[in-house]
Structures are given as structure tokens and as C-alpha cells.
Amino acid sequence: MKLPQTPNQRLDGKRALITGASQGIGLAAACALAQAGAAVTLIARSESTLNDVVSALRNAGHDAQSLVMDVNDQTAIERHLTDQAFDILVNNAGTNRPKPLRDVTADDYAAVMDLNVRASYFLTQTVVAKMSAGASVINISSQMGHVGAVNRSLYCASKSAVEGMTRALAVELGPRGIRVNSVCPTFIETPMTQPYFAEPGFRESVLAKIPLGRLGQIEDIMGPVVFLASPAAGLVTGSALMVDGGWTAH
């Protein structure tokens, strides 16, 4: 009897592009893909921080490059990326401005929707043009693309849009052999979420909704990203991988 073999999750010979990669979830994704063997290109706006990350990756023996760029700048995207071919794209750059509906301004709306939706959409448009069969697009979304929350109507709207975009692109790009999925974390302890936990009672209210009883750490994202990027997820597309400790299971 010939036994089936588990597809491996190695990414040797693959090229990966990660946005918002200088800290938090983006940093974790870049490290995970590099440790799995991919050559990684990290995008962020902060040159000094980005260079520190790339230096650390190189010192650890990984193939890493930096690209200092604002992903909201479509001209820069086209200038730097139009002629480059990647096998993996991780759309991670994002922001949040939690406020009650009555306090959300047009500037808030533009900042959140432009970075969380528009930038990912047009970056993907540019990068997939050079992708081949077997490539993987991973959108870092959120559990908030599947549930509602007080003071997060704008963020929930943006992540719901990311979820819809993920499913539609999976259908459109499937015939080319390109897979498109999302990773939907709960609250992960990162520099972006740190101010929220300074609010009295916020940590307790969050933990009360997570059956596993703990906040997420950036390491919790690393395995799911590698899985979705690798041959082990060869038939997975149009899916939202929940990394939420059970929040959305309620």
C-alpha cells in the first residue's frame, strides 16, 4: 500500500511580499515566511524600523529585502512593483480609529477605508499581474469582519469589505491557480492595540468573549500564514481562517 504523504509547508524558492511589516502582525508574518524558506520583501513607511527588522532577519540567515513605501501611494506601488514577480502576498497594512458613530469624521473614514481596503485592493491588482499558478494572496482581516462591536462600525465596515474582496478574488483568480484567503484574528497584543487595553475594563470585556480565555500573540498568526502560503493549503481558497480563540463561535 502506498500511503499518502502530508504536503509540506516549506516555501523554499518562493518570494513573498508583506505590507506593514515593521512591527506587530506584519513582522510576525515576515518572520514566519522567512523561517519557512521564502525570500521576503518587507514594506513599511518607517525606514529605520524596517531596516532594523531586515538586518535582524539577515543576521538570522534569511533572505530579506526592505522597501520603504506608503501603500496608499499608487504611483509608488506601480514604480516599485509592476515588474516584480512574487509567489506570496500578505496584505497586512491597516489601521483603526475606534469611535462612536456620531464622532466618526470624513477624515476617519478616508484613513481607515483607504488603508484597509483601497490600498490592499490596488496593491493586489498590481502584484497578481505577475503571479503564476500556485501563488497565494493572504489578506490580514479581522474577526470584526464577521461580528459587530461598539465603537467599531468603521473598522467592521472595512474588514467586511476585505472579506468580500477575498471571496470575489478567489473566484476570479482561481482559474489562474492563484489562491486568495484571509486570516481573521481576535485582539492581538501589538503596538496598535496597546492603547485599547489601557482603557478601564477593556481587557476584561474582551477576554469575556474569548472561550480560550487569552488575548492573541503575534506568534499565533505565524502558523496560519505559513499554512495558507504553502502547498498544504493547495485546495483552500476564498476562506476566512479564524484565529480568534473562539470569539465568533458564540
Let me know if 159 is a catalytic residue: yes
Per residue in 184-232, pLDDT (tens digit) is: 999 999 888 888 888 889 999 999 999 999 999 999 999 999 999 999 9
pLDDT on residue 83: 95
pLDDT on residue 123: 98
Let me know if 196 is a catalytic residue: no
The helix/strand/coil state of 218 is coil
Listed as ranges, residues in the chain with pLDDT below 70 are: none
Is 15-237 a CATH 3.40.50.720 domain?
yes
The rounded Cα 44 to chain-centroid distance in angstroms is 13
pTM exceeding 0.95: yes
pLDDT on residue 168: 98
- Residue of 14, 155, 196, 209 with catalytic role: 155
Residue 207 CB coordination number (10 Å): 14
pLDDT on residue 2: 95
Mean pLDDT for the chain overall: 97
- Residue of 99, 159, 196, 209 with catalytic role: 159
Q: Is the distance from CB of 229 to CB of 29 less than 8 angstroms?
A: no
**Percent of the chain beyond pLDDT 70?**
100
